[in-house]
Amino acid sequence: MKRLLILEDGTVFEGEGFGAEANVVGEVVFTTSMTGYQETITDQSFNGQIITFTYPMVGNYGVNRDDYESIAPTCKGVIVKEHARLASNWRNQMTLDEFLKRKGIPGIAGIDTRALTKKLRSVGTMKGSIVDPADELEHSFDQLKATVLPTNQVAQVSTVTPYPSPGVGRNVVVIDFGLKHSILRELSRRECNLTVMPYNTDAQTILDLCPDGVMLTNGPGDPKDVPEAIEMIKQIQGKVPIFGICLGHQLFSLANGADTYKMKFGHRGLNHPVREIATGRIDFTSQNHGFAVDEKTIDPDKLMITHVEVNDGTIEGVRHRNYPAFSVQYHPDAAPGPHDGVHLFDEFMEMMDAWKEQA
């Protein structure tokens, strides 16, 4: 089944369709991950995006029950060079094709993903559409150009109803901006008693739960589209320890006077080197974000820069100078990716314990 990938600049790629037979429009991005396609596709930070995999073959180990980062993925589509129709891993429960069909997500294979990635790197991410060759191409381009991408992405993926993930240890409130299950796994491994709350939960509701700490999770889109979360962070910091990841990091920075900007093509992959300024330690990290904190706007009286990306110098971590609160741009929970940064969850535990002793 032939399918076309069209880009808003007029570029057309022809390939073979797999997965759902839907026509979709989304922001075309690329990830350099060599593995972990199931975790990538089910990561809600890819909400509304068409994911280009730079690794040549995708689908060879199928889809299994253990590697979901969300149950209902909301990416728009999947682009690969070669789609493996057979899955050979012992954990395999269904093929990637079968999984995408069940989730209503179209895929397109046979694309020159190297050429596509080079274009995205030089021009920047752009709108794209997966369509049928039988469709009137001019009409498809008109529809693509007329489509306005949504800005309520966090509202689309956050839980609507609070829910518990019971444990026997520290009480942690998790603010869900589009969380990855691996964040809950890491907190559960440390026996935390978790309460997951919607993205627009107000500060008083959080404080009424008497948490030992608050986790600000990852999520999709522009952090400035979530002003209620920025206001909430302003009101809880100093009253409870905070740990922010990815979008949570950007929101924490905005709450303390910094600004954010949209990157040309973002960081998406598993091999991003990050340097901790205090120690010089280099961690290889899993990342997935299209926005970053602007270093020039950070108030040194409020925030201290703790981590930077080795390749481009972008901000990868900050810590509050007066309150027990810190955040990182990358994913210390990995899934997929290296676990170099997982020690930050232990630092969060130590921060909560120290705060409790002072109280």
Query: What is the homologous superfamily of the domain 154-357 according to CATH?
Result: Class I glutamine amidotransferase (GATase) domain (3.40.50.880)
Stretch 164-177: mean pLDDT: 97
Residue 178 has pLDDT above 90, yes or no: yes
Cα separation, 257 vs 241, in Å, equals: 19
pLDDT band at 135 (very low <50, low <70, confident <90, very high): confident
Query: Is 331 an annotated catalytic residue?
Result: yes
Q: Across-strand partners of 193?
A: 171
pLDDT band at 60 (very low <50, low <70, confident <90, very high): very high
Cα separation, 276 vs 308, in Å, equals: 7
Q: Is 290 annotated as a binding residue?
A: yes
Residue 17 has pLDDT above 90, yes or no: yes
- For residue 192, the model assigns a pLDDT of 98
Residue 202 has pLDDT above 90, yes or no: yes
Report which of 6, 57, 13 is spatially closest to residue 35, judged by C-alpha positions. Answer: 57
pLDDT band at 160 (very low <50, low <70, confident <90, very high): very high
249, 289, 331, 340: the active-site residue: 331
Residue 257 DSSP one-character state: T
Q: Please identify which residue in the block is written with the tokens 């929101």.
A: 251
Query: Is 210 an annotated catalytic residue?
Result: no
Q: Which CATH architecture has domain 2-149?
A: 3-Layer(bba) Sandwich (3.50)
- For residue 250, the model assigns a pLDDT of 98
Average pLDDT in the chain: 97
Q: Is 317 annotated as a binding residue?
A: no
- Strand-pair category, 2-7 with 126-131: antiparallel
Stretch 316-322: mean pLDDT: 98
Stretch 146-162: mean pLDDT: 97
Give the domain ranges of the chain: 2-149, 154-357
Stretch 213-232: mean pLDDT: 98
Contact 70, 184 (CB under 8 A): no
Query: Is 246 an annotated catalytic residue?
Result: yes
Report which of 14, 27, 7, 21 is spatially closest to residue 133, judged by C-alpha positions. Answer: 14
Residue 359 has pLDDT above 90, yes or no: no
Q: Is 30 annotated as a binding residue?
A: no
Q: Across-strand partners of 243?
A: 215, 326
- Strand-pair category, 171-175 with 163-165: unpaired
Contact 80, 54 (CB under 8 A): no
75, 246, 289, 307: the active-site residue: 246
332 three-state secondary structure: coil
Residue 44 to residues 20, 29, 68, 265, 314, Cα–Cα distance (Å): 19, 14, 11, 18, 23
Q: Is 219 annotated as a binding residue?
A: yes
Q: What would the two tokens of residue 125 be?
A: 């991410």
- For residue 27, the model assigns a pLDDT of 98
pLDDT band at 134 (very low <50, low <70, confident <90, very high): confident
Answer yes or no: same fold for 2-149 and 154-357.
Answer: no
The rounded percent of the chain whose pLDDT value lies above 90 is 98
Residues composing the chain: 359
Report which of 76, 83, 75 is spatially closest to residue 15, judged by C-alpha positions. Answer: 83
- For residue 264, the model assigns a pLDDT of 97
